[in-house]
Amino acid sequence: MKGVLRSSAAFCMAATVTVQPLAAEMVTELGDGEGALNIVAWPGYIERGETAADFDWVTGFEEATGCTVNVKTANTSDEMVALMNEGGFDLVTASGDASLRMVAGKRVQPINTSLIPSWNAIDDRLKEAPWHFVDGTHYGTPYMWGPNILMYNTEIFGDSAPTSWNVVFEEMNLPDGQSNQGRVQAYDGPIHIADAALYLMTHKPELGITSPYELNQEQYDAALDLLRVQRTLVSRYWHDAFIQIDDFKNEGMAASGSWPFQRNLLQGDGAPVSSVFPKEGVTGWADTTMMHVDSENPNCAYMWMEHTLSSNLMSDLSVWFGANPAVPAACTDGRGKQTAEGCTANGFDNFEQVRFWTTPVSRCESQEECVPYYRWVSDYIGVIGGR
Amino acid sequence: MTAAISFKGLSRHFGDVRAVDSVDLEIGAGEFFVLLGPSGSGKTTCLRLIAGFERPTAGRIWIFGEDATAAPPYRRPVNTVFQDYALFPHLNVRDNVAYGLMVRGDAKAARRKSADEALALVALDGFGDRKPSELSGGQRQRVALARALVMQPKVLLLDEPLGALDLKLREQMQGELKTLQRQLGIAFVFVTHDQGEALSMGDRVAVFDKGRIQQVGSPEDVYDRPETPFVADFVGASNVLSADMVHDLVGRNAPASLRPEAIRIGFGPLAGVVHARAFLGSATRIEVDCDGQKLKVLIPKGGEVPQMGDSVTLGWSEGALHIMDSANG
Amino acid sequence: MAEARRAPLSDTLWRRPRLLLALLITPPLLWLGIVYLGALFALLAQSFFSIDEFSGLISYELTLKTYAELLRASNLDILLRTIAMASAVTVSAAVVAFPIAYYAARYARGRWKAVFYLGAMLPLWSSYLVKVYSWKLILAKEGVLNWLFETLHLAWVLEAYLAIPVIGGNSLSVSWTGTFLVFLYVWLPFMILPIQASLERVPPSMLEASGDLGARPGQTLRYVILPLALPGIIAGSIFTFSLTMGDYIVPQIVGTSARMIGQAVYQFQGTAGNIPLAAAFAVVPIVVMGVYLTLAKSAGAFDEL
């Protein structure tokens, strides 16, 4: 009985095992496609024109390579890790809070960049990003990234667009003369504690925070205190992008942390919203295509990684999802629908201001000991519950 | 003396169905009054009109001289024993009996005493703490009776209360009810479709058919002197002779009733062929076909019973043939 | 004999009714025993493990530490909040459902009966999510209800109500009142149908007898109808209470974002990897329902079953 329970909880343990790079076998040369490719992906990441006919970056790949693409969508990073632990997949579009777990859990294999002709087209800022480049080894091909922007209602703010996250963290009167109380939102996930920490980096430098994901007890408590103030301002936390879109339309919301995805959809509907990169900087997410250690279709997998970098995929996906391509040329060379203006709007030029999501662990790099993620979860639940 | 119950032109229609159709009736205080009729004849609806469960479509009801036409059930000085007893399953026997006293606001001790007395009256002493589901059909019936009587009604309404009991118990209860009614001296209005029960219990009987009263009278009246062919047939399964036949026999142009037990075989004005025979225990009933008019004949045990197909002659004593002058059909 | 040759199976089963019973009852027993009880005990077992404070790893030592965690203020909040919501929803559902069920059981006949069943079941046909989202729109600050209040010049009533602490909020859709209304709506059929079934079983003569014995309609309701409808009300309350306690969708879409038990289980299990605490949370509704049923039984609610 104990054994069963132990194995069922194995994937949870993988989350906290320290990162230990390994010298797994790397593919050294490519052959013909195996005829199939199985990918674990976020919803909306692998589109074949079925949701909207204009957005298709699979059919062309299948015709060119003969690899039939099967997609299994996963809604959380934990689900992705669990699916990869089960096996039977070739690739996964892992976010920063899942990628290192899978490297540590030996679920993914190193990538031979010389087998990916377009590797050099990748944004230099991403080529050796710490969420997939571990101890000199590449564990994946950068896919997409996006910032968590400050979205606001242009009718309420008028000409004076907000410049700081203070509109969602501290009580104040907005340019329309009314209080922000009940008119701002915050992300309904523990990772939002990092947004509070990021704000404190500017406003309380004496705390000495160097990374919003690596907080000691004192820094962490300060972030929670700030979030308790925020609780008095927030009427509802957002969790689902479409609910936030609805709230900006029907609940008279003034400002909130958000994704370019919601802003694009709202603007597409003619809603009076816009967004800024506040002066404190922003948090964000970056995803990587990683390859299963026991991939049965390695040739198709490498072909897909090349496809992500060289085809219309990056360009169209960045429009579709309101995110930024890992290949800068995809913004400008017209291979898909994305334009330079679109990339700018999605925050392409603000990369340096983005602190990308990673899972907080107790043995952190920047200081002695940090508050681990599972405490972020329970404490954020407490904050939202009014504690 | 004021009548206990009196109806004037009382009707109750359900859509096109005239369940009770302009009935006039008076029931005396202290009378054991039976409403007799086949199912659907309106007798139960009449009882429900007295209790107040139905509102009349037309006409008025008086209870002891007071107009009760619009009074709700809980304001009428009458109580009912239901056909299915309608005991409250969630209350024990004592609380069932004391229910009316409880809603009236009697003190707990007083209603417990009254309930126990009422239970003693129906010979159920000591059953107070049981649940109705733990009682037999006869016992439930007694509880229903005690529950109604504890309210000391001026009129007790009984809706086919013995229908669900077996024959022996039914006969015993008939006797007990009759005794109880005399002892209490209040009016009982008793609904039944069993003519034997009606004749043995009633001081007076009202025979219903199709929402109308066919005849009201003593048991002897309705049995021996039926006023309509329906009454003759329904009460005691009498032979009804057609007007033509009566004309041939006695020269009067009206139907007549002739009791099966009043017919003798061997000599008389009618001849026919035996075409059915049934052994009833204390007697044998044969059916004789006299030129298409079928007559039932009851031969007491010991009498000579003709065989099927035998030709027989039928006769009867003078006065047995009851001419129904008032009948119009 | 000829028949026997043609249908040996039916004949065997007819001659051996216990075999038939065994065949009928085995699949549900397997389902109950292995799938349901198995999962339940696995969950229960998890709740007696704990998560190591330092490393975040699950420690497989039997302990009550995780249950003590439940008593931490923020977790206790979740429990009390959920139980309060489930109680409020259950009591209100009973109050709202009773007249509807009473009408259906006593008066509705023929076509109206069909209309009733349609009306009661219709909410169950459409997707649960669709209903919750549409309620979000109805309750929104710029939604239908607000508009209605404004049109009737009663906006001040709504504002006064929303100004009440705890149950009020910025708009109905972000208040506990909103969460409550949506719960009440989505679980109402589960209250109406059992009450209606229990009232249907009360013969009309029972009510006539009560009136005949002098009870005014109010007394009949209190002393006869309610006690006889109680098993139905209890059955309905088991549905509404447990469904509310376990739900994690409604409070996520409508309300103040403060967690209820279902959401806590989802989050601790799914994103935090704290399976013991998730299991301990999940055990609470089971215990609460157990206590509730025991109380109901000792109050005699099931005597007439």
Least reliable range by pLDDT among A36-40, C159-163, C298-302: C298-302
Residue percentage of chain A with pLDDT more than 90: 55
Distance from CA of B109 to the nearest CA of C (A): 19
Average pLDDT over all residues of chain B:
90
Tell me how far apart the alpha carbons of residues A224 and B42 are, in angstroms, rounded to a whole number.
80
Look at C136 and A76 and tell me if their CB atoms are within 8 Å. Answer: no
Count of other CB atoms within 10 angstroms of residue A211: 19
Q: What is the mean pLDDT of residues A313-331?
A: 91
Look at C55 and A2 and tell me if their CB atoms are within 8 Å. Answer: no
From the list B11, B37, B2, the residue with the least C-alpha distance to B234 is B37
Phi, psi dihedral angles at A75 (to 5 degrees):
-95, -15
- C165, pLDDT greater than 50: yes
pLDDT of residue C63: 86
From the list A263, A184, A273, the residue with the least C-alpha distance to A227 is A184
Q: B270 or C56: which carries more pLDDT confidence? A: B270
Amino acid at the residue A185: Q
Banded pLDDT at B48 (limits 50, 70, 90): very high
From the list B24, B28, B90, the residue with the least C-alpha distance to B60 is B24
- B74, pLDDT greater than 90: yes
Least reliable range by pLDDT among A184-193, C38-47, C265-274: C265-274
Look at A239 and C58 and tell me if their CB atoms are within 8 Å. Answer: no
CA-to-CA dists, residue C55 to A219, C59, C271, angstroms: 19, 10, 16
pLDDT of residue A23: 43
Residue percentage of chain C with pLDDT more than 70: 93
Calculate Rg over the CA atoms of chain A.
Answer: 21
pLDDT of residue C141: 85
Banded pLDDT at A15 (limits 50, 70, 90): very low
From the list A258, A270, A276, the residue with the least C-alpha distance to A353 is A276
pLDDT of residue C56: 57
Amino acid at the residue A178: Q
Q: Is B216 helix (H, G, I), strand (E, B) or coil?
A: strand
Q: A2 or A87: which carries more pLDDT confidence? A: A87
What confidence tens digit (pLDDT) does each residue in C15-57 have? Answer: 888 888 888 888 888 888 888 888 888 888 888 988 766 555 6
Q: What is the mean pLDDT of residues A13-34?
A: 60
Residue percentage of chain A with pLDDT more than 70: 94
Contacts with B161 from chain C: Cβ below 8 Å: none
Residue C170 DSSP class: S
Look at C256 and A378 and tell me if their CB atoms are within 8 Å. Answer: no
Calculate Rg over the CA atoms of chain C.
Answer: 25
Contacts with C212 from chain B: Cβ below 8 Å: 51-53, 73-74, 78-80, 148
**ipTM score of the complex?**
0.84
Among partner residues C206, C216, C304, which is closest to B74 by beta-carbon distance?
A: C216
Q: What is the mean pLDDT of residues B254-273?
A: 88
pLDDT of residue B265: 87
pLDDT of residue A180: 92
Alpha helices per DSSP H over chain A: 2-8, 10-14, 59-65, 77-86, 96-104, 124-127, 154-157, 166-169, 192-203, 217-233, 241-250, 260-268, 298-310, 313-321, 329-332, 340-345, 373-384
Most B-contacting residue of C106, C213, C222, C305 (CB-CB within 10 A), to test interface? C213
Distance from CA of C208 to the nearest CA of B (A): 7
Among partner residues B83, B84, B103, which is closest to C219 by beta-carbon distance?
A: B103
What confidence tens digit (pLDDT) does each residue in B220-244 have? Answer: 999 988 899 899 889 877 888 888 8
What chain A residue is nearest to C171 in terms of C-alpha separation? A251
Neighbouring chains of C at 3+ CB pairs under 8 Å are: A, B
- A79, pLDDT greater than 90: no
Per-residue burial over A148-172, b = 16 or more CB atoms within 10 Å of its CB, e = otherwise: bbbbbbeebbeeeebebbbbbbeee
Look at B51 and C216 and tell me if their CB atoms are within 8 Å. Answer: no
Contacts with C227 from chain B: Cβ below 8 Å: 90
- C229, pLDDT greater than 70: yes
Contacts with C58 from chain A: Cβ below 8 Å: 9, 12-13
Q: pTM to 2 decimals?
A: 0.79
Look at C215 and B100 and tell me if their CB atoms are within 8 Å. Answer: yes
B189 CB contacts (<8 Å, ≥6 apart)? B5, B27, B33, B35, B47, B50, B155, B156, B157, B158
Q: What is the mean pLDDT of residues C189-200?
A: 93
What confidence tens digit (pLDDT) does each residue in B92-114 have? Answer: 999 999 999 999 999 999 999 99
From the list C161, C158, C181, the residue with the least C-alpha distance to C96 is C181
Tell me how far apart the alpha carbons of residues B235 and B209 are, in angstroms, rounded to a whole number.
12
Residue A370 DSSP class: -
Phi, psi dihedral angles at B158 (to 5 degrees):
-125, 120
Least reliable range by pLDDT among A194-198, C103-107, C167-171: C167-171
pLDDT of residue B251: 82
Q: Which residues pair with B28 in a beta bridge?
A: B3
Tokens of A84: 């990869």
Torsion angle of alpha carbons A75, A81, A86, A91, nearest 10°? 80
Q: Which residue has the tokens 């003593």?
A: B218
Tell me how far apart the alpha carbons of residues B148 and B130 are, in angstroms, rounded to a whole number.
18
Calculate Rg over the CA atoms of chain B.
Answer: 23
pLDDT of residue B179: 92
Count of other CB atoms within 10 angstroms of residue B291: 9
Contacts with C215 from chain B: Cβ below 8 Å: 74, 99-100, 103
Q: How many CA atoms lie within 13 A of C63 on its CB side?
A: 14
Q: Is B21 helix (H, G, I), strand (E, B) or coil?
A: strand
What is the residue-wise DSSP string for A287-332?
Answer: EEEEEBTT-S-HHHHHHHHHHHHHSSHHHHHHHHHT-EESSTHHHH
pLDDT of residue C46: 87
From the list A251, A92, B327, A269, the residue with the least C-alpha distance to C170 is A251
Per-residue burial over B146-168, b = 16 or more CB atoms within 10 Å of its CB, e = otherwise: bbbbbbebbbbbbbbbbeebeee
Tell me how far apart the alpha carbons of residues A228 and A65 are, in angstroms, rounded to a whole number.
54
- B43, pLDDT greater than 70: yes
What confidence tens digit (pLDDT) does each residue in B301-326 have? Answer: 888 888 888 889 998 888 888 888 76
Phi, psi dihedral angles at A249 (to 5 degrees):
-80, -40
Banded pLDDT at B131 (limits 50, 70, 90): very high
